[in-house]
Amino acid sequence: MTDLHMHSRYSEDGEFTPSELVEQCYQKGITTMSITDHNCAKANTEARTQAEAKGIWYINGIEVDCVYKGLNFHVLGYGIDEQSEDFACIEENIEHQSYLVSLERLEKTQVLGFNITQNEMWEMSKDTYWKGMWTGDLFAELLLAKPEYVDHPLLRPYRPGGARSDNPYVNFYWDYYAQGKPCYVKMEYPRMEEIISIIHRNHGKAVLAHPGVNLKGHEELLREILDLGIDGLEAFSSYHTPEQAAEFYRQAQKQGLFATCGSDYHGKTKPSISLGGYGELPPNFTIL
């Protein structure tokens, strides 16, 4: 079994250490894995060492936020040199913006009618790698735990039995903090062309992550994005229907690209997603 998309605590929304993820993959029977943290390559050295000890084939990975034609996308980089200064610069760019962006998110969350403070958010993030980054799912975790908001109408869909309760934290993020939503705050991400170039410069392959999510409503951009030098598509994803997966797999084959598979496992942020949970692969499927 293979899973090439998962997140450790080096992602702002990941739960487990790299070693813990390797152990979980081992217990799950996953024989090929990659940790693809958001804008951070630091998990790879530890994960690779632990994976080799378990007999797991480990592929260095990262997932980078970037922009194409004003839209936010994620590009996965595989086989990269994790020690490269290029990836340190990507991380520093995000870290530099994080605190001011977080303060704006807090203000917009307060406008929704929630009484939360900076101190509460610092307490929530104190044990994380990205202490100054307060994400939508972190706000959701705090708000859903506050007794005074147990019956708040905006939170009902995310409570057990609610329409958005399968992945309550990240669904709250998508509904309120994603691009175009009420609490969205713009971050300055690199252009997709730049990220593809950085990945290639560091001996890696660039893969468009979960295209069924980021291309939704903008499917016509796929052809243009492929022309930027993308090497592959994440056809098999926990977010894709079988029909979508089949279509992205067909597109990859048609364009002479490779297809990858990944669950986007995070832990508590996305409890309905499990390692290896990306649907059924076609016969004779190979990666990279």
Per-residue pLDDT for 286 more than 90? no
Q: Could you tell me the strand order of the sheet in which 71-78 lies?
A: 61-68, 71-78, 205-208, 232-237, 258-262
d(CA 108, CA 176): 10
pLDDT tens for each residue of 178-187: 999 999 999 9
CA atoms lying within 13 Å on the CB side of residue 101 = 20
Residue ranges, comma separated, of all CATH 3.20.20.140 domains in the chain are 2-88+190-262
**In one letter, which amino acid is 252?**
A
Give the number of residues written for the chain.
288
Helices and strands in the chain: count of H runs, count of E runs: 10, 8
What beta strand segments (E) does the chain contain?
Answer: 2-3, 32-33, 57-58, 61-68, 71-78, 205-208, 232-237, 258-262
What does the pLDDT average to over 224-232? 95
Per-residue pLDDT for 198 more than 90? yes
pTM: 0.92
d(CA 16, CA 266): 8
Q: What pLDDT band is residue 279 in, cutting at 50, 70 and 90? A: confident
Per-residue pLDDT for 288 more than 70? no
Q: What angle do CA 41, 179, 193 make, to 5 degrees?
A: 50
Weakest-pLDDT range from 74-83, 187-196, 239-248, 276-285 = 276-285
Q: Cβ distance 198 to 229 under 8 Å?
A: no
Task: Read off the tokens for 215.
Answer: 């291309």
Architecture of domain 2-88+190-262: Alpha-Beta Barrel (3.20)
Instruction: Give pLDDT, residue 207.
Output: 98
